[in-house]
Amino acid sequence: MWRRSILLGKKKVLSSLSHFKDSSRVSKESVLPFVSFASRSYGSQLGFKSLFDDSRFALKGFYRPSSRNMSTTASILSSNKEGLKLLVTAGPRAQKIVGIWLFGSVAWVFSMVVLGGVTRLTRSGLSMTDWKFTGSLPPLSEEEWLIEFEKYKHSPEYKRVNRGMSIQDFKFIYWLEYAHRMWGRALGVMFVLPFTYFLHKGWITFRLGMKLSALFALGGAQGLIGWWMVKSGLEEPASEYVQPRVSPYRLAVHLTSAFAIYSGLLWTALSVVMPDPPSGTIAWVRGAAKVQKLALPVSFLVGVTAISGAFVAGNDAGHAYNTFPKMGDTWIPDDIFSMKPLIRNFFENTSLVQLDHRILATATLLSIGSLWWTTKRLNIHPAVRSLIGSTMGMAALQVTLGISTLLSYVPVSLGTAHQAGALTLLTLMILLTHSVRRPSMMVIKSLNSVPKTP
């Protein structure tokens, strides 16, 4: 009897040991894929040590990782670091918060550009004859308003353009210029406070921090560039028959700087929330590479066309030759090279400046149309195809806005819409260029087993 009991006990012990061995093997097989997934997803953010500690805690009491498994996990993390380089290192929540902040800054700069266009079209930019880096309070009493108005009366613009202006009309243009300046300063505060907080939390990588610091410095310089531009309009014109206006060169620098800040912020924001472009299949990646070769020169052409618009605005060229497609009675005016030296005509001659802008706008529309037509036959990601279609539609709308603005003698509403349209078109080209860049090696390797689409 006792021998039978011993045999039964031995069988139970062996059965228990066998069950424990099986359960250990199952636990190991079931948990390792999760560890591998975590390595691929967050390895570059957390580092190997913390990931190994977390996985060891999950497996505590069941299984001790072997050196082979450890080397496999390390190789996965190494390939991840070589492939996908995240700009925010504190996980998806931090990535989302930083992305929202950056896209908010992008929208703010967009509104700054639009407000600047309104300020220029209403001739409000020269209403404030002095400038302080930190800004100041607006006039709060009638006496203070009279002091500011008296300063404006000594400006060339008042003497030659707005003589006899009422103080109520002066208040209108003053408030527009004041709003434009203070909106820019508010953007600086809204940018630097979250930036400082994110640096303190350690969410931002060194690479991202350097990019954002450079953009912030350019934003600070933008205020100085704006005053440098306004100051040129407060000087007496060379001839008594010339209306006072800001230098077209300085206006072009001011607008180009604004577009550069906007483009840099948008690209950085996209890189934070979308470290890798949409891929899907190897065929789509190859198609995107072909689109990129076409999109890059088109993006450059869009930027050059926008800058040429600054010279149109700086020379008031939109108020001349308000006909289309001809310029007056001819296709090409006779005086396009009337200035000496020859190079001045491209930046100061009203006729040639407007002709250049017409040619560049037409070339931009045709280039985007060619991009759209060529990519119809390519095997590309649906999101990329949709972006190309939207860009084509926006290009057609922008040309329509430009022609309407010219034929209507540049009303404030259409002129502002045309400037906003230029920035919208540039936005779509940046989105397209960002979406067709080459994916990381990690993503490309993961697509090797995916069959090509027909």
- In the chain, where are the structural domains located? 23-83, 89-244, 276-454
User: What's residue 88's pLDDT?
Assistant: 87
What digits encode the pLDDT tens for the residues 90-116? Answer: 888 999 999 999 999 999 999 999 999
Interatomic CA distance for residues 309 and 248, integer angstroms: 10
Note the pTM of the prediction, 2 decimals. Answer: 0.78
Beta bridge partners of 204: 88
User: What's residue 255's pLDDT?
Assistant: 94
What digits encode the pLDDT tens for the residues 67-92? Answer: 333 333 333 333 444 445 688 888 88
User: What's residue 448's pLDDT?
Assistant: 55
Residues of the chain with pLDDT under 50: 1-10, 12-83, 449-454
Interatomic CA distance for residues 414 and 86, integer angstroms: 41
Interatomic CA distance for residues 165 and 425, integer angstroms: 38
Residues in the chain: 454
Collapsing DSSP states into helix, strand and coil, what is residue 409? coil
Provide CB contacts within 8 A for 62, sequence distance 6+: 23, 24, 27, 28, 31
- With the C-alpha atoms ordered 198, 204, 206, 211, is the resulting torsion angle positive or negative? negative
- With the C-alpha atoms ordered 246, 250, 256, 261, is the resulting torsion angle positive or negative? negative
Closest Cα to residue 291, out of 104, 437, 129, 111?
437
Q: Give the residue carrying structure tokens 């600047």.
A: 116
Q: Return the exposure string of 415-438: e unless at least 16 CB atoms fall within 10 Å of the residue's CB, then b.
A: bbbbbbbbbbbbbbbbbbbbbbee
Provide CB contacts within 8 A for 380, sequence distance 6+: 284, 287, 288, 291
Torsion from C-alpha of 330, 332, 334, 336, nearest 10 degrees: 150
User: What's residue 84's pLDDT?
Assistant: 55
Residue at 257: amino acid letter: S
User: What's residue 280's pLDDT?
Assistant: 80
Closest Cα to residue 379, out of 275, 293, 454?
454
326 DSSP 8-state letter: S
